[in-house]
Amino acid sequence: ELKVEQNPLFLSMQEGKNYTIYCNYSTTSDRLYWYRQDPGKSLESLFVLLSNGAVKQEGRLMASLDTKARLSTLHITAAVHDLSATYFCAVDNFNKFYFGSGTKLNVKP
């Protein structure tokens, strides 16, 4: 079965700092997705990465995909408290989605 591993699982950081969340997956896939989940809420789509070398940016978040290394990263620049949430990566394997365990991000003011 395809495995998706995220690290770290928990991340506590100060406002203004930069950090990267890593997402490794165990089989070939050209599609990778990042989602955000606030406590008690649903999942919100952040990025869709469709090919090797894809990079997308929205505000302080930037996601990239290296399909050869089976690795995606979510980079946070100058974190602010509003980014506190749980972030999931997911891989599409023939319309079957496998999610990572999530990275719970806490940005301290």
Partner 1 sequence: DTAVSQTPKYLVTQMGNDKSIKCEQNLGHDTMYWYKQDSKKFLKIMFSYNNKELIINETVPNRFSPKSPDKAHLNLHINSLELGDSAVYFCASSQPARPSYNEQFFGPGTRLTVL
The DSSP letter of residue 86 is: E
- Selected from 2, 13, 43, 71, the binder of partner 1 by CB under 8 A is 43
| DSSP state letters, 39-58 | TTS-EEEEEEE-STT-EEEE
6 part of the interface to partner 1, by CB under 8 A: no
72 part of the interface to partner 1, by CB under 8 A: no
Q: CB of residue 86 vs partner 1: minimum separation in angstroms?
A: 6
If 0-12 CB within 10 Å is exposed, 13-18 middle and 19+ buried, where does residue 107 land?
Answer: buried
- For residue 100, give both structure tokens: 């990572």
3 part of the interface to partner 1, by CB under 8 A: no
- Footprint of partner 1 (CB under 8 A): 31, 33, 35, 37, 41-45, 48, 50, 86, 88, 90, 92, 95-99, 101-102, 104
